[in-house]
Structure 1
């Protein structure tokens, strides 16, 4: 199969397209013909070696955890899916080796769910990691509900875009921190924008609101500012949040949570924003774009 491979840690230039053996199909896994594979910041952080102390990498490695495609075969213990099913998944495994920037993935059934009927497979590929990160943060760590005013920073990014919508579906009011050029974008999801370059108190005063919970995707000083305002804070960027009584979230593959996200999508309560689509052979360019940290919505790779 064709796959993008890297044989050492480094910049996006270590990525190259190669012919490799397809991954082995486990007894409780499904072999999926990948149609699209989204790019997430964690992909290039792993490739650069920045998570080497947290995640073990076996070289040669294929980057990527997100995918959407069609089931080709199922392992003998799988009853939940069948050949021909349209699926999506967050294929994070115990080691970094078989990734999704490839024509096939053998994904454990716990990481896979049927794709939304109302979304294309390119759109569906953007949902797993970013959607699970937002869903597990808001419903698991924060318990966001109808009485909440939720603050979301980096709101125009991939995770932020889903966080705004998941919070709105739960009945919360959303305050979205972003650049002024993205104000109309976040307003399109029902959020109330504040300028990320201005003091937070100034933005909140503009809307006459007081936040009851906060979702942090930035860390550092931004996190410090939030923990001074509310004890209900979760962060996906800074583990120090635990020292302030908040929660650090690193998304887990969860078939039930994926199903909840798909249900929101098919109910019209969740949509995605595809900012850029690259062919498989330009995966390095997709990583380079993601590393600029200015993307609105999601980047995905068209494999088929």
Structure 2
């Protein structure tokens, strides 16, 4: 037997259970990964809490939990190439990442993706990358971010925001990030000029010295996108990643699924080279999965939350 976090009905963190389940094994064209860490994303608890969102991903109850993971290959089928027992890996497995073992198709199938973990990148860091890193790349690529831009990033201190801020800086852009005042020092350390979110955002941005915003990405809803429109940013240079609708026909709605094929490698290369860091806001053992998800659901986390197994 092995362990997996599962839920029988949709709901809040209280529905999550660490259960004993039959130990899975790799088939001929599959690998089994012994999971050591799983990074949490807002979509994880959103799927567990909202049947309509779960349906969009083809998930019905009972279900497993989580997407991002990292660990070590401990079984490889005879037909597998490119991965071997003992390889450190990370990736995504929809609705089954927070478990002792994850089995994935090789090459990548519709239910998961797998990459080698580079030297110098820890399992905890790698476990945060496949959703948040790819989403940040997609959000910035959608607006054609380039050197010399001043980009307004909404929810800049969140799990996707910490990647977007640093990637924008690496691209040569000036970054203004929306956040709560308590995260301002954190954002300054990442290289962003902070500004408080909430009503009057556009006016506060205008008051910043030398702030002529040329692009924007909204990583939470549409407040930042609406402020960017008010500031005169062209709609095609504004993206959203978590909005149910866009505030203008030209605004680019995007997600991790729209990221280019090299998105994750771009992130890992930058981490391995010391040009990008991943702030881990909190770590929880898998036995405390409910506490970890409750913290994630509060929406005030500065960086990523990791569950260890």
Whether these two folds match at TM > 0.5 is yes
Maintained 8 Å contact 1:156/1:178: yes
Q: Does 1:106 align with 2:112?
A: no
Maintained 8 Å contact 1:242/1:248: no
Q: Does 1:273 align with 2:274?
A: no
Between the aligned partners of 1:117 and 1:227, the Cα distance in structure 2 is 43
Q: What is the match of residue 238 of structure 2?
A: 233
Q: What is the match of residue 265 of structure 2?
A: 259
SS in 2 for 1:156: coil
Q: What is the match of residue 70 of structure 1?
A: 72
Q: What is the match of residue 177 of structure 2?
A: 176
CA shift for structure 1 position 143: 2.0
Between the aligned partners of 2:24 and 2:38, the Cα distance in structure 1 is 16
Q: What is the match of residue 56 of structure 1?
A: 58
Q: Pick from 231, 241, 250: which aligns with 1:245?
A: 250
The C-alpha deviation readout for 1:65-107, integer Å capped at 9, x for no partner, is 0001111123444322222111111223xxx4xx111001113
Structure 1 residue ranges, 4+ long, deviating more than 6 angstroms after superposition: none
Alignment of 1:1-304 (within 5 A): 1-23=2-24, 25=26, 27-50=28-51, 51-92=53-94, 96=95, 99-108=96-105, 109-110=107-108, 111-139=113-141, 141-197=142-198, 198-228=200-230, 229-230=232-233, 231=235, 232-241=237-246, 243-252=248-257, 256-303=262-309
Between the aligned partners of 1:239 and 1:227, the Cα distance in structure 2 is 18
Maintained 8 Å contact 2:217/2:225: no
Maintained 8 Å contact 2:150/2:174: yes
Maintained 8 Å contact 1:194/1:204: no
CA shift for structure 1 position 112: 1.3
CA shift for structure 1 position 255: 5.8
Between the aligned partners of 1:240 and 1:247, the Cα distance in structure 2 is 10
CA shift for structure 1 position 26: 5.1
* Change in 2 beyond 3 A, CA 1:210/1:87: same
CA shift for structure 1 position 6: 0.6
CA shift for structure 1 position 205: 3.0
Between the aligned partners of 1:204 and 1:20, the Cα distance in structure 2 is 55
Between the aligned partners of 2:261 and 2:76, the Cα distance in structure 1 is 16
Structure-2-length-normalised TM-score:
0.89
* Change in 2 beyond 3 A, CA 1:170/1:283: same
Maintained 8 Å contact 1:217/1:236: yes
SS in 2 for 1:82: coil
Unaligned runs of 5+ in 1: none
CA shift for structure 1 position 235: 0.5
The C-alpha deviation readout for 1:30-86, integer Å capped at 9, x for no partner, is 211100001111011110125034122243311000001111123444322222111
SS in 2 for 1:226: helix
Structure-1-length-normalised TM-score:
0.91
SS in 1 for 2:4: strand
* Change in 2 beyond 3 A, CA 1:220/1:251: same
Between the aligned partners of 2:282 and 2:74, the Cα distance in structure 1 is 27
Maintained 8 Å contact 1:241/1:248: yes
Between the aligned partners of 1:26 and 1:165, the Cα distance in structure 2 is 39
| Aligned residue pair count | 297
**CA-atom RMSD in angstroms:** 2.0
Maintained 8 Å contact 2:133/2:263: no
Range with bigger deviation, 13-22 or 235-244: 235-244
Maintained 8 Å contact 2:136/2:160: yes
SS in 1 for 2:58: coil
Between the aligned partners of 1:46 and 1:122, the Cα distance in structure 2 is 23
